[in-house]
Amino acid sequence: MEENKTLTKHSPGYGIYILVWLALVTLTALTAAVAGISFGKFSIVVALIIAMVKSYLVLSEFMHLKFEMKAFRVFVVVAILFFLLLIVLLFQNYSYY
Partner 1 sequence: MSTENQAVVHVHRDDVGARMGMWLFLLSEFLLFGGLFLMYSVYRYNHQHDFHVAAEGMNIFLGTANTLILLTSSLTMALAIAAMQKGNKILSLTLQIITFLFGVAFLVNKFFEWRAEFRAGNYPGSPILTAKPSGQILYYGLYYTMVGLHGVHVIVGMTIIAFMIRFTIKGIINKDNYVKLENAGLYWHLVDIIWIFLFPLFYLIT
Partner 2 sequence: MSNSSIALDGNGKLPSYLIDQGKHKGILAWLLSTDHKRIAILYMIGVLSFFAVGVSLGFLIRLELLTPEGTIVSAQAYNELFTLHGVIMIFIVVIPAIPGIFGNFFLPIMIGAKDVAFPRLNLLSWYLYIIGGTMILLSMVLPGGAADTGWTFYIPYSVRTGTNMVFTLSAVFILGFSSILTGMNFLTTIHRMRAPGMGWFKMPLFAWSLYATGWIQLLATPIVGITLLLVIIERVFGVGLFDPTLGGDPMLFQHMFWMYSHPAVYIIIVPAMGVISEIIPVFAHRTIFGYKFIAYSSIAIAVFGSMVWAHHMFAVGLSNNAEFIFSLLTFLVAIPSAIKVFNWTATLYKGSIELEAPMLYALAFIFLFSIGGLTGIIQGALNVDIYLTDTYFIVGHIHYVIFGGTGMALFAALHYWLPKMFGRMYNKKVAKVAFWHIFVGFNILYFPFLIMGWLGMPRRSYHYLPRFQIYHVISTVGSWVLVAGLLIMFINLLRSLRYGKIITENNIWGGESLEWKVQTPPIAENFEEIPVVTAAPYEYKENDEPVLEKEEII
User: Which residues make up the interface to partner 1 (CB under 8 A)?
Assistant: 1, 3-4, 6-8, 11-14, 17-18, 20-21, 24-25, 28, 31-32, 35-39, 43-44, 47-48, 50-51, 54-55, 58-59, 61-64, 68-69, 71-72, 75-76, 79, 82-83, 86-87, 90-91, 94-95
CB of 62 to partner 2, least distance (A): 22
CA angle 47, 59, 24 (to 5 degrees): 50
CB of 18 to partner 1, least distance (A): 7
Q: Give the contacts of 16 (CB within 8 A, at least 6 positions apart).
A: 61
Nearest distance from C-beta of residue 87 to partner 1, angstroms: 6
With b for 16 or more beta-carbon neighbours within 10 A and e for fewer, the 68-92 pattern comes to: eeeeeeeeeeeeeeeeeeeeeeeee
- 71 is an interface residue for partner 2 by CB under 8 A: yes
Spatial CA neighbour of 65 closest among 7, 2, 5: 7
